């Protein structure tokens, strides 16, 4: 007797061994509370660029938000419940955007690409949530004489350097004020999955939203400082699956840096509130 999909349970390829195991579903269907974990250190640098360069990165239905400011953020995550306490790191590039769909309207941060150094969250993020996750080596940051230096590479080619320093810790009040100011609907994504055999046609293509509410996340510490970021030009031989991505980011004009942040948080959510926008 072939197997039947269990109703109400999530699946992911291979589906043949029972319901999937991932951030939103553990053994026997249990949920992860993300209450005292994960622990995240997020390090980011922002810069003003050209409105036109960002427009070219937006799918139909989107426009650039308030100001063409790109944020490059590296996160170092530990104590992840669904990975039985292991961690991984990410590198994301986003900017403010507005989505005007047939039905939905949303303002938020458009996540153009998110490198992660572990395959499992890449698969769950792409397939379940529509995050544009791809693989990159993201070693622990180097911290030396007041400077934090983050890097990303692929098979020995370093494609990014991000450095922050001159950090000043914010008081709880300053941090709270800053957080409350960040009013947005959340993070915007474009989910796309090709149709097998009909090359060039999608089976899935829609916008998704990660709502900004994140009730279990607690900001523990916050610093403001200065920073720089560089994407390094690559050839097809260097990065045969993503030299186009890295070179586009390399080409973004840095008109003016808009500061750097370091934020340490505890707790989170399983992102099961991710939803499609039409």
Report the site for its own copies in 210-239 (rule: CB under 8 A). 236-237
Q: How far is the CB of 117 from its own copies (least distance, A)?
A: 10
Q: Binding its own copies by CB under 8 A: which of 176, 179, 202, 253?
A: 202
For residue 193, state whether it binds its own copies (rule: CB under 8 A): yes
Say if strands 105-116 and 186-194 run parallel, antiparallel, or are unpaired: parallel
The residue within the footprint of its own copies, chosen from 47, 95, 190, 223 (CB under 8 A), is: 190
CB of 101 or CB of 178, closer to its own copies: 101
CB of 150 to its own copies, least distance (A): 11
Between 12 and 258, name the residue whose CB sits nearer to its own copies. 12
Q: How many residues bind its own copies (CB under 8 A)?
A: 101
Contact positions with its own copies (CB under 8 A) in 17-36:
17-18, 21-22, 24, 26-27
Binding of its own copies by 143 (CB under 8 A): yes
53 binds its own copies (CB under 8 A): no
Q: Figure out which of the listed residues 244, 255, 256, 259 binds its own copies, where binding follows CB under 8 A.
A: 244
Tell the smallest beta-carbon distance from residue 179 to its own copies (Å): 26
Q: Does 55 bind its own copies (CB under 8 A)?
A: yes
Please select the residue that binds its own copies; options are 102, 180, 182, 199, rule is CB under 8 A: 199
Of 247, 192, 199, 200, residue with least CA distance to 59: 192
Which of residues 64 and 170 has its CB atom nearest to its own copies in the complex?
A: 64
For position 102 contacting its own copies by CB under 8 A, the verdict is no
3-state per-residue secondary structure call for the chain: CCCCCCCCCCCCCCHHHCCCCECCECHHHCCCCCCCCCEEEEEEEEEECCHHHHHCCCCCCEEECCCCEEEEEEEEEEEEHHHCCEEEEEEEEEEEEEEECCCCEEEEEEEEEEEECCHHHHHHHHHHHCCCEEECECCCCEEECCEEEEEEEECCEEEEEEEEEEEEECCHHHHHHHHHHCCCCEEEEEEEEECCCCCCCEEEEEEEEEECCCCCCEEEEEEEEEEEEEECCCCCCCCCCCHHHHHHHHHCCCCEEEEEEEEEEECCCCCCCCEEEC
Residue whose CB is less far from its own copies, 135 or 178? 135
Nearer to its own copies, 63 or 226 (CB): 63
Contact 274, 208 (CB under 8 A): yes
Q: Check binding of 264 to its own copies (CB under 8 A).
A: no
Distances in Å between the alpha carbon of 81 and those of 77, 186, 198, 211, 265?
A: 11, 23, 39, 21, 15
Which of 74, 91, 106, 113 is the binder for its own copies (CB under 8 A)? Answer: 113
153 forms part of the interface with its own copies (CB under 8 A): yes
Q: Which is nearer to its own copies, 43 or 245 (CB)?
A: 245
Residue of 48, 53, 61, 250 interacting with its own copies (CB under 8 A) = 61
Q: What phi and psi values does residue 255 have, to the nearest 5 degrees?
A: -75, -30
């Amino acid at each position: 007797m072939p197997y039947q999909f269990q109703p109400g349970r999530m699946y992911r390829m291979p589906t043949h061994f029972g319901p999937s195991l991932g951030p939103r579903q553990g053994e026997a269907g249990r949920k992860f509370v993300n209450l005292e974990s994960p622990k995240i250190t997020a390090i980011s640098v922002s810069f003003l660029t050209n409105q036109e360069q960002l427009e070219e990165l937006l799918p139909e239905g989107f426009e650039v938000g308030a100001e063409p400011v790109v944020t490059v953020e590296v996160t170092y995550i530990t104590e992840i419940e669904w990975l039985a306490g292991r961690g991984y790191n990410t590198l994301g590039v986003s900017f403010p955007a507005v989505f005007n769909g047939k039905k939905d309207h949303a303002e938020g941060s458009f996540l153009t690409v998110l490198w992660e150094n572990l395959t499992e969250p890449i698969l769950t993020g792409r397939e379940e949530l529509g995050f544009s996750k791809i693989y990159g080596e993201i070693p622990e940051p180097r911290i030396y004489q007041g400077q934090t230096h983050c890097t990303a590479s692929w098979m020995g080619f370093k494609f990014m350097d991000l450095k922050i320093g001159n950090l000043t810790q914010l008081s709880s009040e300053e941090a709270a004020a800053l957080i409350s100011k960040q009013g947005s609907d959340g993070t915007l994504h474009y989910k796309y999955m090709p149709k097998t055999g009909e090359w060039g046609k999608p089976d899935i293509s829609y916008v998704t939203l990660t709502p900004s509410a994140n009730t279990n996340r607690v900001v523990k510490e916050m610093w403001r400082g200065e920073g720089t970021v560089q994407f390094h030009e690559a050839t097809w031989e260097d990065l045969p699956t993503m030299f186009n991505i890295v070179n586009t980011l390399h080409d973004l004009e840095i008109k003016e840096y808009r500061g750097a942040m370091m934020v340490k948080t505890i707790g989170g959510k399983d992102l099961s509130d991710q939803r499609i926008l039409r």
